[in-house]
Amino acid sequence: MNARVLLLENVNVKEFLGAYNCNIKVIKSFFPKLKIVARGNEIKAYGEAEILDEFEKRFEMLLHYFNTYNKLDENAIERLVTEGAAKTEKDDEVLVHGVGGKLIKAQSFNQRKMVVEIKTHDMLFAVGPAGTGKTYTAVALAVSALKNKEVKRIILTRPAIEAGENLGFLPGDLKEKLDPYMQPLYDALRDMIPHERLNDYLERNVIQIAPLAFMRGRTLDNAFVILDEAQNATHSQMRMFLTRMGKHAKFIINGDPGQIDLPPRQVSGLKEAIIALKDIKEVAFIQLDNKDVVRHKLVKKIIDAYNDIITER
């Protein structure tokens, strides 16, 4: 039997291995044909040479990830082990240097694919469940384009659909009624742009956040435009939005077809658009899934559980 010894040098061993060695247990689950033992700062693996080579390559990726992000969890291990080197080589690419020195990067294969595709396509559809980083990655790409002077403004919009609550009964003026619907967009921006500068951008309309209905009649040129929660856009709203595209513009349309809040029997404009535009080569489509979830590890398990119910029906 072949053996391989890997050293954990310049690494907090306890944090890398996880509480009660939980991370090494996850790693073992992906290499069932190897015997893997963790002692001190050494990882010893026994098995066939070919599998050991693959294990060592993946292990180096895990160390690199840990040194870059100062963390390692089950989701990260799964992504790195299953996707491989070719899909993680751009892991170090910083999209935005955020507030407090935070480095904003694509953290999964499909998020990195969003980064690649928007460079060669002016319109991109990113579809997938909650927690897969669609909105956050799209906003980071928009902020990066603004900082690099590739566009003159950012426009963020989403349908103001009443998901169980009635807008008319919410307190405040129109802006105060609508702001809660736009909160995820504000949250992402606050991570990436210092408070005073963000307020200045908002006051000067360099960054605009508005309900989808307010896009009617506009021509959006020299802009990076994001439509969030696009599954709640109607047929007419989606067609209106897509035809707002002006010169030197980038459009990203995000949505989760599994969370439609439209009235019964009303077709989602997102679903229609995907079908209608699928053969246009200048439009890119990316399907994110539970492997792209970057929230709490329970989110991935919740998505899997609901998918199982849908499959059984």
Q: What is the pLDDT of residues 203-221, one digit of tens each?
A: 999 999 888 888 988 989 9
Q: Count of CB atoms within 10 A of residue 209's CB? A: 21
> Mean of the pLDDT values across residues 59-81?
82
Indicate whether 157 and 128 sit together in one domain.
yes
- My answer on whether 69 and 214 are in the same domain is no
Residue 128, burial from CB neighbour count under 10 angstroms (0-12, 13-18, 19+): buried
pLDDT of residue 292 exceeding 50: yes
**Per mean pLDDT, which range of 111-120, 256-265, 298-307 is the poorest?**
298-307
- CATH number, domain containing residue 30: 3.30.1370.10
pLDDT category, 266, cuts 50, 70, 90? confident
Look up the domain containing 292 and give its range. 94-312
pLDDT averaged over every residue in the chain: 85
In degrees and rounded to multiples of 5, residue 285 shows phi and psi of -130, 130
Same domain, 277 and 308: yes
pLDDT reading at 293 higher than 90: no
Which candidate, 208, 218, 268, places its Cα nearest to that of 242? 218
| 137 in the same domain as 103 | yes
Mean pLDDT of 233-259: 94
User: What pLDDT was estimated at residue 161?
Assistant: 63
Last residue of a domain, one of 87, 114, 133: 87
Q: Give the confidence band of 79 by pLDDT, cuts at 50, 70, 90.
A: confident
| Element of type H or E holding 71 | none
The residue among 207, 206, 268 whose CA lies nearest residue 236 is 268
| Boundary residue ending a domain (42, 63, 87) | 87
Query: Is the per-residue pLDDT at 159 higher than 50?
Result: yes
**Domains held by the chain: number:** 2
How far apart (Å, rounded) are the C-alpha atoms in residues 126 and 110?
9
Whether pLDDT at 23 is above 80: yes
Contact status, residue 163 vs residue 231, Cβ threshold 8 Å: no
Same domain membership, residue 172 and residue 42: no
Confidence of residue 313 (pLDDT cuts 50, 70, 90): low
Same structural domain, 60 and 190: no
- Reduce the DSSP state of residue 269 to 3 states and report it: helix
Task: Show the beta-strand stretches assigned E in the chain.
Answer: 2-7, 35-39, 42-47, 94-97, 103-105, 123-127, 153-158, 207-211, 223-227, 250-255, 283-287
CB 157 within 8 A of CB 209: yes
Kindly state whether residues 239 and 101 are assigned to the same domain: yes
What distance in Å separates the CA atoms of residue 204 and residue 161, rounded to the nearest whole number? Answer: 27
- Residue 61 and residue 117 in one domain: no
Q: pTM for the whole thing?
A: 0.66
**Buried-state track 88-100, b at ≥16 Cβ within 10 A, e below 16:** beebeeebbebbe
Among 34-43, 96-105, 203-212, the least confident range? 96-105
3-state secondary structure of 13: helix
Would you state the pLDDT for residue 91? 43
Residues of the chain with pLDDT > 90, as a percent, come to 43
Say what the pLDDT of residue 1 is: 75
Q: What percent of the chain clears pLDDT 70, i.e. is strictly above it?
A: 87
Phi then psi dihedrals of residue 287, to 5 deg? -105, 110
DSSP-derived pairing of the beta strands 223-227 and 207-211: unpaired
Q: Do 274 and 178 share a domain, yes or no?
A: yes
Residues 186 and 298 in one domain: yes
**C-alpha 190, offset from chain centre:** 17
The angle, 0 to 180 degrees and rounded to 10, between the axes of the packed helices 74-83 and 297-312 is 70
First-to-last C-alpha distance (Å) of the chain: 48
